[in-house]
Structure 1
């Protein structure tokens, strides 16, 4: 039986932990992330004769590593490469929550947006057109109420479709001004030469342009191959041109 890894990402207070509990029930355990004091929660469920291991990432508002929680979440998505990252959004604060979703979409195409708390949104008269949102962003969008266990089967079905290749998400790319795009393309070429398709080259190029040393250090620890040092050398030269 195949086991797929599903990461749950989201802002605090989006009901992400409730969804984790709904999906995994009693089949879960907790510990700490390696070298961190941050709690790591894992569980599993079965669907269509396949096992899905669910990893509940720390709740964060961003993935720019301003905190240990953000670093843990970012490193798991980039370095561990889960089969699907489900971004849990609060239906009552969708615009604010989409900031994190857009960051994840730059990191991995294997993403599903899960709009939770639809029961609360309906009370407030909020309507969300998930099909139009899916068309705009290029990834599956599912509406649920984890607390009431509504929409869970639709979410499981979407996860199954992505891991099985029935759906191939194609996130819409965020474009920057021409000067930045030219520099991104130049750095992307170097990253592909060094890493192939192992990592999202565009996202890596953006982090290098921003001088994000933490991701290079994380790659060095993870790969133990000098890759981080090589990227750091190129990044330093790029940031001064």
Structure 2
């Protein structure tokens, strides 16, 4: 096993080729098991690119992060508590509109995102053309077209990862607007949420989940260990969270 410097989370809807990409990147440097306390499979691997070691975690395939299932809770909690350096969201080029739902949810949690448009070869066969530059501008994060099974676009993806870790990319994710009523409710909740979680978690996203009545999120937050100081750990965790 290598001593990884950066952690990458791999996300996507089921059947987008996410695990194929995971296998291409890690080769034999991978292992599987179950997430603690879950029957959900845990797959983790390592790779080195341009002298930098990466740990990559293949999260369960999900359609959302709304904690309606064990898979969704695992994916949500990893982004929230493990705070990967980069999250690669793999989407199906032949079903882009449906897949972008998860992308937008991830962008509400973190700005360190790369959208990997997989199965671009299948899309071309169906006459589908995707303007990746325009999509990247709309989303505010890098977008890379690829075909994992044909190993096309892998180098471009890795170059984008490399640019991220060297601070050469400055993403500005799209802010998803909601109805006037929801935005007003978010505005009322935000000061209280920020008072409780500080800068440790995405306050707007937490407010949205509370408005959805996501009690599992409160439970997960309360189970986190006491917050560490910046000197003790680069990714400090949050202390107990009260219901709001």
For the residue of structure 2 that corresponds to 1:223, the secondary structure is coil
C-alpha root-mean-square deviation of aligned residues, in Å? 1.5
Q: Which residue of 2 aligns with 1:63?
A: 65
* CA shift for structure 1 position 2: 6.1
Equivalent residue in structure 2 for 1:162, among 164, 175, 197 = 164
Alpha-carbon distance between aligned partners in 2 of 1:120 and 1:130, rounded to the nearest angstrom: 16
Contact 1:162 1:169 (8 Å CA) reproduced: no
Q: Which residue of 2 aligns with 1:175?
A: 177
Give the number of aligned pairs: 232
For the residue of structure 2 that corresponds to 1:147, the secondary structure is helix
- Report the TM-score when normalising by structure 2: 0.91
Alpha-carbon distance between aligned partners in 2 of 1:134 and 1:223, rounded to the nearest angstrom: 37
Alpha-carbon distance between aligned partners in 2 of 1:120 and 1:215, rounded to the nearest angstrom: 38
Alpha-carbon distance between aligned partners in 2 of 1:26 and 1:190, rounded to the nearest angstrom: 47
Deviations 1:27-84 (A, max 9, x none): 1111110111111000111112211101000001111111111110111011111111
- Report the TM-score when normalising by structure 1: 0.92
Q: Which residue of 1 aligns with 2:9?
A: 7
Equivalent residue in structure 2 for 1:218, among 217, 220, 223 = 220
Contact 1:217 1:228 (8 Å CA) reproduced: no
Alignment of 1:43-54 (within 5 A): 43-54=45-56
Q: Which runs of 4 or more aligned residues in structure 1 lie more than 6 Å from their structure 2 counterparts after TM superposition? A: none
Alpha-carbon distance between aligned partners in 2 of 1:52 and 1:190, rounded to the nearest angstrom: 37
Q: Which residue of 2 aligns with 1:238?
A: none
Deviations 1:158-210 (A, max 9, x none): 11212222102111101112232122122122222222211000000001111
For the residue of structure 2 that corresponds to 1:103, the secondary structure is helix
Contact 2:224 2:239 (8 Å CA) reproduced: no
Alpha-carbon distance between aligned partners in 2 of 1:3 and 1:80, rounded to the nearest angstrom: 14
- Structure 1 stretch displaced more, 12-21 or 165-174: 165-174
Q: Which residue of 2 aligns with 1:83?
A: 85
Q: Which runs of 5+ in 2 are unaligned?
A: 228-237
Deviations 1:140-167 (A, max 9, x none): 0000100000100110111121222210
Equivalent residue in structure 2 for 1:108, among 97, 107, 110 = 110
Contact 2:197 2:241 (8 Å CA) reproduced: no
For the residue of structure 1 that corresponds to 2:148, the secondary structure is coil
- Structure 1 stretch displaced more, 176-185 or 48-57: 176-185
* CA shift for structure 1 position 227: 4.8
Deviations 1:104-134 (A, max 9, x none): 1111111110000011111111111100000
Kindly indicate whether residue 152 of structure 2 is the aligned counterpart of residue 150 of structure 1: yes
For the residue of structure 2 that corresponds to 1:107, the secondary structure is coil
Q: Which residue of 2 aligns with 1:16?
A: 18
Alpha-carbon distance between aligned partners in 2 of 1:114 and 1:52, rounded to the nearest angstrom: 17
Q: Which runs of 5+ in 1 are unaligned?
A: 235-241
Contact 2:63 2:102 (8 Å CA) reproduced: yes
